[in-house]
Structure 1
Amino acid sequence: MSVQTILLDFSVDPARLGDECGQRAVFDQLETVLKDYIPNLVLSADVKIDGGSLKLLVGKKGTSVSTRLFDQGLVTVNIEYYKEENEAPLMDYKSAQVLENQLKKYLSVTKSQSYIPLKRCLFGRYYPSSDNRLLEYDIDEVLFDEQSPFQRVQVVHSKSLGNMLVLDDLQNIAEADLIYTETLMGRGVENYEGKEIIILGGGDGALLYELLKEKPKYVWMLEIDELVMKVSNKYLSTICGDVLEKRKGKNYEIIVEDCMLTLNKFMKEGRKLDYIFGDLTDIPISESACGELWEFMITILESAFKILKPSGKFMTHANGANCPESLKMYEEELLKLKPPVKFTKSKAFVPSFLEEWWFYQISFNTTDLGDA
């Protein structure tokens, strides 16, 4: 069941909407055509507002049609109705296109656009891209939805992606996302055999699971949210195996606490590691590199390089390829780090993100600065 929303946009000569008489004539033409598509349609409200007018019509089974006429020549038509799961739609995309073409003839428009119906229901089908475009997913079921002390944790099922972990209403990882984990770890490029590694975050277990296949000496995974690990173990076992079944294995340990506590502990002990993975937050989208998230990310970077070996690397995901300004700011912050660092980067299309994503591999600029 869902509320279906059909949106249609039109551009007409602004002179036709310049006064009430002109707007009435355009609306009458709209109403005439709409009544052929929506049974029992009647005008319910007519409101004059700044910059134009708003008219509300209602029809069969509570269908509502709001039409907005803007003085600048823009006309919007929003149709909404309730649809049961197995009920035939009142209007699908094809019929919306037919309606659009019919209205174009009546209104003599210069431009028009009809949109695929939005399906608004009790569970989300829509998530944002990295640059805040709306993405629709083929989600057909919510498997888990609960608030942890840190974030909202959901697992939804997608027909094409399998089970998908969603944190605070943002897509995190799906069963189809092996490419994400392999690109993050640079599989085939980096050699993890016999290495000591820290994962910051990574509560879905996918990175730990794949790293253990590479025969590392030891891996510490530092995850603050117990609930993320619990639901990942239950619903995402295809990408995390059984590594979340227990908190300690022969060559790995999962520590459930703020990652900074362990980083500070390792600094005091003088430990030096081969790899540190930043599998925490994405690079923030902002006008400048300031604020709580940027400060947290920079603190993580500075702390990580205090416990990396001279030959060590910090591996992290960044953000979508459609956010070049954010990526540029991140690189500028990297160049400010002391001791100086250098970086390479790689890119992959991540299925559950529906876009290309950048990953960074950061190391000391010169090996003799590693112990500074």
Structure 2
Amino acid sequence: MRLNFNLCNLEEKVKNSALSADRKEAREFQTSSSGLFFKVKKVLYEKKSAFQKIEIIENDFYGRVLFLDGLVQTTEKDEFFYHEMLVHPALAIHPRPEKVLIIGGGDGGALREVLKHPVRKAWLVEIDQEVIKACEQYFPWLDEALADPRAELAIADGFDFIQKTTERFEVIIVDSSDPVGPSAILHARDFYRKLKKILKPDGLIVAQAGSQLLHLREHSQKAAFLRPMFRFARFYSAPVPTYPVGTWCYTLLSDRIDPLAVKKLRLPDGLKYFNAEVFRASFAQPVFFEQALQKKE
């Protein structure tokens, strides 16, 4: 799940609907002067929840497309790029992931991927129940995942949940919005300190971190506080065709497990993108990105 970085300060230019006035196109401005558009075959769903505008359209190439406040969250065509790269790097290297916490991810893709592993229980914490309802209707993988007896849904604020839970987790997945605006709290030092308190000693935290190109400053700031906090704080990246600039970043954190030292991955069946070669390659970063991570704020 994500929030557009470059539109946060556009004030009157920001609109929370992706649909054009004639409802023939759905558009996302990924910067103030560029973006992505979809021709609308059919508008499937529209609703304003207490938190955001929810829209689902059908497109000839991408299939069903979910927008929240005018921003692409997931499409039937390319969702596996994002969800497999968010979930499997951590689940494939932990020796015994029994309890998994997912913060955000109301479209259900992350939960579906977690349940491909032999976990004992997986919690999905989503603040907006209307997103759950819409995705259960139009993205059937969510309904199937929630029907799994190992899955537990909590309609709650993720920050509140981690402060109140008495559970301890082997893997925590942060499928939050991008590191700006109201969601900035889920990318801040205090949030990660609280996550670490509910993480088992050999546990892993993985979080989506935003666009490789558009969020350079945020990546630099995050690296500055995560590296002293965790023995291993690794950034990795992978393509997501319908996300801004097309390359998306993630952080993988642990005090016990270094992903670069793991020799063998535990891969489930049925994957479409993630494999051992992709895993290793995803930690190789371009020069400009490495320079941003090393920059002192």
Work out the CA distance in 1 between the residues paired with 2:51 and 2:113. 26
Residue 138 of structure 1 is matched in structure 2 by 39
Residue 228 of structure 1 is matched in structure 2 by 131
Structure 1 counterpart SS, 2:122: strand
Return the match for 2:27 from 122, 126, 134.
Answer: 126
CA contact (8 A) 2:23 2:40 kept: no
Matched residue pairs, number?
234
- 1:278-312 CA-to-partner distances (Å, cap 9, x unmatched) read 0111122xxxxxx7543343243221111111211
Residue 253 of structure 1 is matched in structure 2 by 152
Residue 328 of structure 1 is matched in structure 2 by 220
> RMSD of the TM alignment (CA)?
2.6
Structure 1 stretch displaced more, 257-266 or 358-367:
358-367
Work out the CA distance in 1 between the residues paired with 2:238 and 2:97. 27
Structure 1 residue 345: Cα displacement: 2.3
CA contact (8 A) 1:348 1:357 kept: yes
Residue 232 of structure 2 is matched in structure 1 by 342
Query: Is residue 306 of structure 1 aligned with residue 194 of structure 2?
Result: no
Residue 110 of structure 2 is matched in structure 1 by 207
Structure 2 counterpart SS, 1:231: helix
Give the number of the structure with larger relative contact order, counting CA–CA contacts within 8 Å between residues 6 or more apart.
2
CA contact (8 A) 1:161 1:351 kept: no
Return the match for 1:277 from 165, 168, 173.
Answer: 173
Work out the CA distance in 1 between the residues paired with 2:98 and 2:31. 33
| Runs of 4+ with deviation above 6 angstroms | none
Structure 2 counterpart SS, 1:277: strand
Partner letter of residue 258 of structure 1?
D
Residue 122 of structure 2 is matched in structure 1 by 219
Structure 1 counterpart SS, 2:178: coil
Structure 1 counterpart SS, 2:44: strand
Query: Is residue 163 of structure 1 aligned with residue 64 of structure 2?
Result: yes
Work out the CA distance in 1 between the residues paired with 2:63 and 2:219. 30
Partner letter of residue 171 of structure 1?
V
Partner letter of residue 256 of structure 1?
I
CA contact (8 A) 1:130 1:320 kept: no
Identity percentage over the alignment? Answer: 23
Per the alignment, do residues 183 and 193 of structure 1 end up closer, same or farther by CA in structure 2, a change over 3 Å counting? same
CA contact (8 A) 1:128 1:135 kept: yes
Within-5 A mapping of 1:16-165: 121-122=22-23, 124-129=25-30, 133-165=34-66
Partner letter of residue 362 of structure 1?
L
CA contact (8 A) 1:130 1:322 kept: no
Partner letter of residue 102 of structure 2?
I
Partner letter of residue 151 of structure 2?
Y
Residue 250 of structure 2 is matched in structure 1 by 359
Instruction: Look at both structures and tell me which one has the larger radius of gyration over its CA atoms.
Output: 1
Question: Would you tell me which structure has more strand in proportion to its own residues?
Answer: 1
Work out the CA distance in 2 between the residues paired with 1:336 and 1:120. 49
Residue 178 of structure 1 is matched in structure 2 by 80
Per the alignment, do residues 272 and 317 of structure 1 end up closer, same or farther by CA in structure 2, a change over 3 Å counting? same
Structure 1 residue 215: Cα displacement: 1.5
Residue 265 of structure 1 is matched in structure 2 by 164
- 1:82-124 CA-to-partner distances (Å, cap 9, x unmatched) read xxxxxxxxxxxxxxxxxxxxxxxxxxxxxxxxxxxxx863364
